[in-house]
Structure 1
Amino acid sequence: MNNNALSVDQAIKKLEYYCAYQDRCYKDVISKLQSLGMYQTAINHILDHLVANNYLNEERYAKSFARGKHRIKGWGKYRIEQELKFKDISAYNIKTALKEIETDYLSNFYTLAEKKWHSISETSLNAKKQKWTSFLIRKGYETNLIYNFLKDLTS
């Protein structure tokens, strides 16, 4: 360890603040500890401490991630699921997180889809459909949902 390396106690305090400020997942916390130059044994000890004191809770992280990304960024289930998988969140916690957005999922989708449809100033209907569909697929919405709504919009 170099001279400016943190002690385990200092790292614990720093990570308690880091996790209290915003929910974090294991992957975020481990990468933060590695960036602080901590050894694997210290990382394991700190993770145990954070979990035992409820600073680190993967289920809580997954739920707040799903709610936030859906409400603020308008992401669909598929995009949220992919991002959580990238963060190494368990399948059980991903499923639990997706239940968090079920109540307002469709209304948010319809609002976003309609707003986007009216904001596209394409003169060709096919080009407009293509831009709109691509946008919603990137947002992570299911294709059957997108195409069913497209039928309603164009009829």
Structure 2
Amino acid sequence: MKEYTENELRTKAEAYCAKTERCPMEVEQKLGQWGADEEMKARILASLEKDRFIDTARYCKAFVRDKYRFARWGRNKIVQALRLKRLPPEDIRAGLEEIDEDEYSRMLREVLAQKEKQVTGRNDYECAMKLIRFAVSRGFTLDEVKRYIHQASDDAYLD
């Protein structure tokens, strides 16, 4: 494996961060793979943060937008993923503000309606439990899911 100077590593890290938003933990891991020691990692990370190649608040906002719009994750799963990346709680909270409540509710309804077509059970209760387990595993809160299932069953009686 080639040994890199600190400047070469900084340049590689800048290019790595320029491609897409990165969190400090991802960059630190990549620097480790490239052969940087702990002191060098700290200096390079500080430099990247100073030059705004890394910005945890910006990263959290982008992560939240991507995960709830494209991966269709709920809040809980998003928060858990951000915590695993060791990001500051205040940046996580700021990131969650990116969620548009109407869009989020609509997305939850769509995800559950789509899953509802695939769910089979002996009775309505069993089907509802399967939907709840599915949605909670996607990171939605139990209250959010119950609210949707309750609305859906009310709507069914209106037909």
Pairwise same-fold verdict (TM > 0.5): yes
Q: Deviations over 1:39-64 (max 9, x none)?
A: 11211111121112111010111010
CA–CA distance in structure 1, aligned partners of residues 33 and 19 of structure 2: 18
What amino acid does structure 2 have at the position aligned with 1:88? R
Q: Deviations over 1:44-88 (max 9, x none)?
A: 111121112111010111010000010111101111011101111
SS at match of 2:11: helix
Aligned residue in 1 for 2:21: 23
Instruction: Please list, as runs of the form range in 1=range in 2, the aligned pairs for 1:44-63 lying within 5 A after superposition.
Output: 44-63=42-61
User: Is 1:105 the equivalent of 2:98?
Assistant: no
CA–CA distance in structure 1, aligned partners of residues 106 and 124 of structure 2: 25
Aligned residue in 2 for 1:71: 69
Choose which of 33, 36, 58 in structure 1 pairs with 2:34. Answer: 36
Aligned residue in 2 for 1:11: 9
CA–CA distance in structure 2, aligned partners of residues 123 and 17 of structure 1: 55
CA–CA distance in structure 1, aligned partners of residues 94 and 43 of structure 2: 28
Deviation at residue 6 of structure 1 after TM alignment: 0.9
CA–CA distance in structure 2, aligned partners of residues 89 and 49 of structure 1: 18
- Structure 2 length-normalised TM: 0.89
Percent of aligned positions that are identical: 24
* Count of residue pairs the alignment pairs up: 153
CA–CA distance in structure 1, aligned partners of residues 53 and 69 of structure 2: 24
Aligned residue in 1 for 2:126: 127
Deviation at residue 118 of structure 1 after TM alignment: 2.3
SS at match of 1:119: coil
Q: Deviations over 1:81-105 (max 9, x none)?
A: 1110111111100100000013421
What amino acid does structure 1 have at the position aligned with 2:60? A
SS at match of 2:140: coil
Q: List alignment gaps of at least 5 residues for structure 2.
A: 155-159
SS at match of 2:117: helix
CA–CA distance in structure 1, aligned partners of residues 111 and 153 of structure 2: 16
Q: List alignment gaps of at least 5 residues for structure 1.
A: none
SS at match of 1:73: coil
CA–CA distance in structure 2, aligned partners of residues 108 and 153 of structure 1: 14
Choose which of 84, 87, 95 in structure 2 pairs with 1:86. Answer: 84
SS at match of 1:50: helix
Deviation at residue 123 of structure 1 after TM alignment: 5.0
CA–CA distance in structure 1, aligned partners of residues 30 and 7 of structure 2: 15
What amino acid does structure 2 have at the position aligned with 1:135? F
